[in-house]
Amino acid sequence: MLSKRIIPCLDIKDGRTVKGVNFVNIRDAGDPVELASTYAQQGADELVFLDISATNEKRKTFATLVKEIARNINIPFTIGGGINSAEDVAPLLEAGADKVSINSAAVRNPGRIDELAKAFGSQCVVAAIDARLVNDQWIVHTHGGKTPSDKELFSWAKECESRGAGEILFTSMDHDGTKSGFALTALASLHEQLTIPVIASGGAGEKRHFLEAFTSGKADAALAASIFHFGEITIPDLKHYLSQNNIPVRI
């Protein structure tokens, strides 16, 4: 069985790491390069950086930050935020990123996934899906969770896979920042319907939640932010706990 991955996520706003609850109430969480270096040393399997204030003007600044991150860590990392075309992706990969995540632009133009997969390979393309339950249906949202779309989680995830996405990063907006646990039923359904890896995001608050994501939720990886940023759980302790509970992890 492949090792399950632990992935700290760093939301970047104006060059700083920030974290909110349910996509709002943002607060500062530290320097992204310092945090990335710490997580790499602690044994994180990958990192995800999301530029939550991405604009055309700031993208060049962000590419400079990516170069600095690449110089300071030796594990794979994914970059997302404001990616609309292959022209946006190339500088980030050249700066040292291993993958890119695409969300709003893919919902707006699903063919964008085909374009990126063809240009850079499926292994570079992560389809990030933010969704919340609306009348018992998981509705996909865009623009940092602000705008509901006409897409439903499971059908959209399958379309992303068919268009060439190499992974699905599913964030439950209802669970994000609440520390109440991941959306296990939705994760398990994604696992059943897809053949590509699924990354669980939104709701991690204690070590048990990661165990549940890998067992009940059948996730391939689990992503978290605030519990790592504010020292509530350390990656070595988490991995030791998971290993004791028969979850294959890289230690």
242: part of which helix (H) or strand (E)? helix 235-244
| 142 contacts 108 by C-beta, under 8 angstroms | yes
Helix axes of 207-215 and 235-244: crossing angle, nearest 10 degrees: 50
3-state secondary structure of 16: strand
DSSP state of 200: E
Q: Residue 49: beta bridge partners?
A: 10, 79
Cβ–Cβ under 8 Å, residues 205 and 234: no
Q: Hey, CA dihedral for 4, 184, 238, 68, is it positive or negative?
A: positive
Q: How far is 212 from 59, CA to CA, in rounded Å?
A: 37
Angle between helices 56-72 and 86-95 (to 10 degrees): 30
Which residues 6+ apart lie within 8 Å of 150 measured at CB?
A: none
Dihedrals phi, psi of 127, to nearest 5 degrees: -90, 110
Active site residue ranges = 11, 130
